[in-house]
Amino acid sequence: MNKAIITITLLFISLSLNAAKQAPISNLDIKDAKKLEIRSGQIGPRSTLIFYTFKSEKAVLKIHIDNKDKSFPVTATVFVFDKSVSEEDLKKWLNNQHSDGLFPNIPKPSKNIKVPAKMFKLLSKKVTSNKKSQFGSFENYNVKLKADEYSDKISIKINSFTIDTQVYLKTK
């Protein structure tokens, strides 16, 4: 009985090691990514969305900076797509994330990996201008964030980076 348990355990360890070799952790470095930043929509200023597309990894890091208060809370998710997804289809998926969903047949991510909010730290914020529109009054902030290194230890590793961006804060 003990020999059977040992044999099964060794087999499980061997299979686990082989699986780890087949699926290496993707190293996501912002320097290698294409950045898309969205701050306004059809109904005026909105919370800030930043998308970093890692073309060779078929992955997108989506960062959402909320504009409801001056703490500018951040949420982030990494979307991983099948290696067969084309660059054009990835662009369509990106467009649908911030617009009115023009493209009906877009790829679905094979993995959605939530990044812990504690990874992001607000380094600075400064009002640079005011904007009035039919949707209200907004203060435009220059915001600097620092993102610590993060890994889910299974499929992705994000190197540390800083973000200089702008966020509209609704005042009225």
CA distance 78 to 63: 9
Give the count of domains, the chain. 1
Instruction: Tell me the pLDDT of the chain (172 aa) as tens digits.
Output: 677 666 666 556 666 655 545 568 999 999 999 999 999 887 788 999 999 999 999 999 999 999 999 999 999 999 999 999 999 999 999 999 988 777 788 999 999 999 999 999 999 999 999 988 888 899 999 999 999 999 999 999 999 999 999 999 988 7
Residue 62 lies in a domain: yes
Containing 128, the helix (H) or strand (E) segment is strand 120-133
Predicted local confidence at residue 132, as pLDDT: 87
Domain range spanning residue 150? 26-170
Inter-residue contact 40 to 170 (CB < 8 Å): no
Q: What is the DSSP letter of 70?
A: T
117-140: b (≥16 Cβ within 10 Å) or e: eebbeeeeeeeeeeeeeeeeebbb
Residue 89 lies in a domain: yes
Looking from the CA of 56 toward its CB, the CA atoms found within 13 Å total 8
Residue 12 lies in a domain: no
Predicted local confidence at residue 20, as pLDDT: 45
